[in-house]
Amino acid sequence: MKTEKNGIPLSVAVKSFENVADLYIRVSTTEQAEEGYSVEAQEAKLQAYCKAMSYTINRVCIDPGYSGTSMDRPGLQELITDVRSNRCKKILVWKLDRLSRSQKDTLILLEDVFLANSCDFISVMESFDTSTPFGRCIVGILAAFAQMERENIRIRTTLGRVEKIRKGYFSGSHAPLGYKFKDGCNELLVNPYTSIMVREVFRLFLSGTGLSAIGRYMLDKYGPGQYDWAKNTAIRRILSNPVYMGKVRLNGELFDGIHEAIISETDWYMAAALLEHNKAIDKRSYRYALGTPGRGDNLLTGLLFCGDCGARMYARKVSKTKKKYICHSVARTSAAMIKSNHCSNRLHPYTVEELDAVIINEIKKLSIDRSYFDSMVERCRDEKPLDFSAIQERIAEIDKQTGRLLNIYQTGLVCLEEISARLGTLKEEKEKLQQNLLSSDSATASCSLDATWKSLQGFSAIIASGDLEAMQRLIHSLIDKVVVLNNDITIYWSFC
Active site residues: 28
Q: How far is CA 14 from CA 22, 56, 87, 356, in A?
A: 17, 13, 13, 94
Q: Is residue 323 exposed (0-12), middle (13-18) or buried (19+ Cβ within 10 Å)?
A: middle
Closest CA to 313 of 284, 348, 287: 348
* CA-based torsion, 192, 193, 194, 200: positive or negative: positive
Q: What are phi and psi of 294, to 5 degrees?
A: -80, -165
C-alpha 389/C-alpha 437 separation (Å) is 10
Contact in structure between 337 and 330 (CB atoms under 8 Å): no
| Runs of H (alpha helix) within 240-369 | 265-278, 328-331, 352-368
Nearest to 71 by CA among 26, 116, 15, 136: 26
Read off the amino acid at residue 113: V
Would strands 120-123 and 90-93 be described as parallel, antiparallel, or unpaired?
A: parallel
Q: How far is CA 247 from CA 111, 338, 381, in A?
A: 45, 22, 31
CA distance 74 to 80: 10
> In whole angstroms, how large is the CA radius of gyration of the chain?
36
With CA atoms as reference, report the closest residue to 326 among 340, 342, 334, 315: 315
- Which amino acid is located at 203 in the chain? R
Residue 205 carries which side chain, given as an amino acid letter? F
* Other beta carbons less than 10 A from residue 91's beta carbon: 25
Distance from C-alpha of 486 to C-alpha of 371, rounded to nearest angstrom:
29
Whose CA is closest to 123, among 143, 106, 98?
A: 98
Phi/psi at 457 (nearest 5 deg)? -65, -20
Q: Which long-range contacts (CB under 8 A, 24 or more apart) does 122-127 make?
A: 122/90, 122/91, 122/92, 122/93, 123/93, 123/94, 123/95, 123/96, 123/99, 124/45, 124/46, 124/49, 124/92, 124/93, 124/94, 124/95, 125/94, 125/95, 126/95, 126/96
Could you tell me which of 495, 480, 493 has the C-alpha nearest to residue 448? 495
| CA end-to-end span of the chain | 94
Starting at the edge strand that comes first in sequence, how are the strands of the sheet with 488-493 ordered?
304-306, 479-485, 488-493
